[in-house]
Structure 1
């Protein structure tokens, strides 16, 4: 929502740095900067030329910083950017000076919501939290207009009276809601199974370093241990859990309760079998109903049972890392069976999903004109 307030924000990441960019936007932007900026040869003009860049000094009294002032294109000149020396002290001083002259200080994301189109601003916010290059690329597509373009197409369909096509496109977008949620939030993958099948060793192998304590004794893992990883560009939080067995008591029983909570909250469960044990241990029906990914571990040892009897299982050795790359690929495939093509519109935040649901509700109740109005 735009306001008549003139706002100022640091647009570069906070902290120490060589250069910072401070944005100023609002009806008094040029008036405020003009009182604090001067070049070596002339005073700033009454009305700057859009797109102009000027080298000069910014400050007041005896304290100045050499800066580059940029007037963003487009009338009126109410969006300015100041490139100055970085560092917390310098940035705070400049923002305080702007506040003293009438600007309202805000965070960078609040600034973008005032200056950018709605979904472009939201996409920029989400980009800051992208966990991998692949998810960042998808968010960049949205920042570059993929989601906006899809909404424009739906608006055109509604105006033309093609309700069925508009409804189908809205549903296609909503079908990607769960995927869009995980562009900034890692998928949760719980490693589960009976005690001493090598769950902790497996999570260490998948992570590429030792995060979980490994010991030959059952019941070593009692708390949930999480580690960040990525498979084929999708951010994942691996969860190491306590061994599940009916005889658990005391601390072990508390561990199994935590394990079951992880199962309930996870996007995917991996049930681990031990190839060297006397016989395979299968999960209880409620866990099997969640369609775990079957993994047979310890294949570097002589198998004590027919490991091929586990359907569609991944055979690995956490000890030698055999099969670990293939397991990563299977995890990726289970989480994202069909990744959207480059440039595809994706509802990338909860606000997008809620907006689409509002549109669907209007279309379903026959309020086409209201849906068109909501689409702008």
Structure 2
């Protein structure tokens, strides 16, 4: 404690010493001085430093907020116009209660930004989330990074700067505005996992995404050397070459510096711990996960990635709805996907049953302890001695039986 209070005390003494000459003035001497003379005579060093510190904190905060907001404005303005004009969504962005429009929703002082698009054939929605560092609070940002090194469990799951696009299909197909809408019988054909993952992000992607932890890794000549396939079975690797050939040949090589993975999946990011969560968290979707994007060229590449994935859902939905012979996602192909989900659900149920048994045993043991304690409270000293002797003899018999069994 003295190691802390000592320097603190010396610091306070040094601050007080700055104006020793002022405090030593008598009351009459101070009264004789004008206001301007007092201001000039007083040493304002400490106050000036405090003002400069507060001003610096304010300027850093304003810079950080405006910096993140400027990046979000650039990204989401381009994406929203692309959703409306390029992909023909009926709505993009959000509306306030007063009817005004906004391109995105900002959360946590400008660390998280979200936009949304909906109203289109084949696609239920597109959600884009961007996460930026807390540039408005450098000290907290440094502390977060230090904690991440030593206590990763205490740090936010998606702590790094990134952009994530989630595209959800709706199973409906409409050729144009004047054509009737056709719908799939169910969404089971979209229940599979196949992905393209950057090699430098394979490990961390598996750790952070439960659905990727269930996949097998495979390299292929079809992919740029920076990427690998990660699918629940190798046959599904062909999904990208069948429906997104342009992605493999033209776009992926240009995106290697920011694209971490593209995945088609129906399973959640976090492993479900109950059968109810297993059922409620399944949602077919395409996930595009990137590092932070700010350059115009990178935004254009992201738009092209989104466009290709939307085209994939358009084509797959049309083939399934119209029952075309060229459909790739056949029942035979998806049999292994169905079996994988049954196996994972069985694992979850086994763990649940084990936890329930352990909790029941703990509850029973606690009730027995309470019962013994109540008996002890009601028995006399002689009866307690007899009961302790019986318990001791019982334990001794058990020990001897175990020894005999080993021999």
The TM-score, its normalising length taken from structure 1, stands at 0.21
Structure whose residues are more often helix by fraction: 2
The TM-score, its normalising length taken from structure 2, stands at 0.19
